[in-house]
Amino acid sequence: MWCERAVWDGEVASGVRLTVDTAGVVAAVETGANARPGDLVLRGVVFPAASNAHSHAFHRVLRGRTHAGGADSFWTWRQAMYQAAGALAPELYEELATAVFAEMVAAGYTSVAEFHYVHHRPDGTPYPGHAMELALGRAAQTAGIRLTLLDTCYLSGGFGQPLNQEQRRFADAGAEAWLRRLAGLRTAIEAEFDPAQVSVGAALHSVRAVPEEALNVIAAGLDPDLPLHLHVSEQPAENQACLAATGLTPVQLLDRYGLLGPQLSAVHATHLTDMDIELLGGAGATVVMCPSTEADLADGIGPAAALAAAGARIALGSDQHAVLDPWLEMRALEHGERLGSGIRGRFTPAALHTALSDGGAAAQARRAPGFAAGRMCDLMAVDPASTRTAGSDPAQLALSATAQDVTAVVVGGTLTAGHGRHLRLGDPGVLLAGAIRKLDEAAACTIETASGREPAAKGQP
């Protein structure tokens, strides 16, 4: 593979030629080289591809639909999310997730940590054979994106509160039941997929959804080698409820049960105390910022620079996919820091790319993408002369480019997408429109059935 120009660690090199092994790993690197016959040639400026550290694939349905105004908040947005979740079934979820993952690949993502909690039927009874989880694995395989499936523990509706009706399909009978199901899922995934393509990690939805007594059971029973993710301090109300119930912040509660460590990825971490920042940094944890979602939901601006200074690794996720654009996530991380501090240059362009690529890969316990021997040959090429990028310093394209400028996406040494299209699946927009239409029809049928009315005929209001 030959790159006209390549950027890594903030440096720009010309004529970068990579030798790639059969596993898609970079075996050798030359600079100042000429392309040879048979090389895949990438024009423009080439970067390590993006590693998406936090995704809820079905949330993509909500894009552009939750902005009616009025007394809107994260909590009212959540009701729309529950409605979408209630309509999912394995076949439909596979179609929708395939479209979402295709959109990710076309934007420059080559791996994704899918924070998955829609496990069961709407009434809480299990599907046979991990049907929802296997559907996500097949979707990732079809789209050509590496998937870390984060099977999520979800046991309560809040501190001391039972599950509500919408949450029943997320839940297991208790911490032990979740651990058993997780072990069974790992066996099922290993039997069907190459672990380099689809692997399993663990997630706790949040401390409000996993009671304190369950944390103790999980800390004792969870495989310490698994990546562990959870939503942390996304909302002030969560912190207040945790303090009232336990006398501790969510981060301090996790520390009490020995769950802080390099394997942990704390998602959002928006509303932290100074002690929380010290604990996460001292543990070498990853903090997954999702700037476009945090802005969309009015969550706030998290202390990313302070966390990095304390020793935490920063990663980036697209979460609810208000946008699917790794370049905008990088830019939003830096812009949030500038708005919060009044200081420019809180993260250098090189640091932004490290968060986007290496940070997200580390959160998934995967090889990082890039140009050095031993890294995955996962790359994205950018047009440096578009209306957005013309005149930009190649090393500073993180502050000017968007996914519209991505001309080629390489996954494991194979050209997989370019110019907004997936090479095998075509236009992700067409796939998304079809899947969302079907989900809307399923959601309308679910609502009418629950209300006691006869479902409307297909295509009718």
List active site positions: 268, 319
User: d(Cα 348, Cα 356) in Å, to the nearest integer?
Assistant: 12
Cβ count within 10 A of residue 38: 5
Report the residue count for the chain. Answer: 461
Strands 414-418 and 264-268: what pairing?
unpaired
CB 270 within 8 A of CB 306: no
User: d(Cα 294, Cα 353) in Å, to the nearest integer?
Assistant: 20
User: d(Cα 316, Cα 325) in Å, to the nearest integer?
Assistant: 11
User: d(Cα 50, Cα 191) in Å, to the nearest integer?
Assistant: 28
Tokens of 192: 């069907």
Instruction: Pick the closest to residue 283 from 266, 296, 299 (CA basis).
Output: 266
User: d(Cα 266, Cα 422) in Å, to the nearest integer?
Assistant: 31
CB 112 within 8 A of CB 101: yes
Cross-strand partners of 13? 6
Amino acid present at 92: L
